[in-house]
């Protein structure tokens, strides 16, 4: 039975990138001291969630990979002997940018990267303005702590992405996330949205017999344009087991950093009890690649 100690950091970001990164570094050091082997950060963790508006000046925040952030987190990973899942605004070329997760190995090297595939475009989430859809496919990243199925935020709603990662031997699914309420939503609507978000990911855990780790931002971030009242990120970062069981769920309002132990061997047992992969009718699924079936 293989156990992995995962550290999650749910943070309220400010406009001060240096301060955001320092606080992440301090929490990473503490989690490592407490035994974390893998630490997962939230989506676009260095800055405010800038996609609330369409502003060409925001492209100045993007950086190459390798670059300053991979160097910063690489040194952190090597110093503390931990694997770190980061989430960066990648400048691939002039006019070509991605929302990219980079996995840093415990020796400080880059183990691999994943470019966000599903790009939303909704009020206050204008990501299509900034990010080109990923072109690296749904491929797990091998690390010293296991094979990690890294996906990002909007990807978490799509069962196809989770399945493809699982079919390639991912030991767990990891979702760096930035999602929250619009403040004008009613309390009931806010609850429905948050529970739908949690439920669909727990469903991926069950359908694939695999652990799911979702790490979200928390706190209010204003809309620079003033068109909305900003986003109240709902936190609620969680870890679910391969039967959808909730192993941990963070606060919906407060920062948290926490270690959760995953029993990866239990996932294999669950797949023996519920052999969904065995019973899939792959001979009948051809139409799944169509946009719509008339």
- The residues that are catalytic are 43, 116, 153
133 strand-pairing partners = none
Q: Is 96 within 8 Å of 126 (Cβ atoms)?
A: no
For residues 47 and 123, what is the distance between their CA atoms, to the nearest angstrom?
19
Closest Cα partner for 130 from 140, 139, 121, 138? Answer: 121
Q: Which residue has the tokens 């470019």?
A: 115
The 3-class secondary structure across 120-148, one letter per residue, is CCECCECHHHCCCCCCCCCCCEEECCEEE
The three-class DSSP label of residue 70 is helix
φ/ψ of 24, rounded to 5, equals -65, -40
**Residue 84: in which H helix or E strand, if any?**
strand 83-93
Cα gap 56→129, rounded to integer Å: 9
Cβ atoms < 10 Å from Cβ of 130: 21
Structure tokens, 122: 């909704």
Whether residue 47 contacts residue 270, with contact meaning beta carbons closer than 8 Å, is answered with no
Q: Which residues, in sequence order, are bridge partners of residue 263?
A: 3
């Amino acid at each position: 039975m293989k156990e992995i100690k995962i550290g999650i950091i749910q943070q309220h970001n400010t406009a001060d990138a240096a301060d955001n990164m320092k606080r992440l570094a301090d929490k990473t050091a503490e989690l490592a001291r407490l035994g974390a082997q893998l630490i997962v950060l939230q989506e676009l963790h260095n800055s405010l969630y800038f996609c609330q508006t369409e502003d060409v000046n925001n492209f100045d925040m993007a950086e190459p990979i390798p670059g300053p952030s991979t160097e910063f987190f690489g040194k952190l990973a090597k110093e503390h002997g931990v694997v770190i899942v980061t989430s960066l605004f990648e400048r691939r070329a002039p006019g070509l940018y991605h929302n990219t997760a980079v996995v840093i190995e415990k020796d400080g090297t880059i183990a691999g990267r994943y470019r966000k595939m599903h790009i939303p475009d909704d009020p206050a989430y204008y990501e299509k303005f900034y990010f080109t859809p990923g072109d690296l496919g749904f491929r797990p990243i091998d690390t010293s702590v296991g094979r990690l199925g890294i996906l990002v935020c909007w990807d978490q709603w799509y069962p196809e992405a989770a399945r493809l990662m699982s079919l390639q031997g991912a030991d767990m699914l990891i979702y760096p996330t930035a999602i929250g309420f619009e403040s004008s939503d009613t309390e009931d609507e806010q609850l429905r949205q948050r529970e739908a978000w949690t439920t669909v990911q727990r469903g991926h855990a069950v359908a694939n017999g695999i652990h799911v780790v979702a790490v979200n931002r928390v706190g209010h971030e204003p809309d620079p344009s003033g068109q909305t009242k900003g986003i109240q990120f709902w936190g609620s970062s969680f870890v679910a087991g391969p039967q959808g069981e909730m192993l941990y769920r963070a606060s919906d309002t407060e920062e948290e950093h926490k270690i959760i132990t995953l029993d990866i061997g239990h996932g294999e047992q669950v797949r023996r009890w519920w052999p969904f992969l065995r019973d899939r009718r792959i001979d009948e699924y051809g139409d799944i690649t169509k946009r719509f079936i008339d």
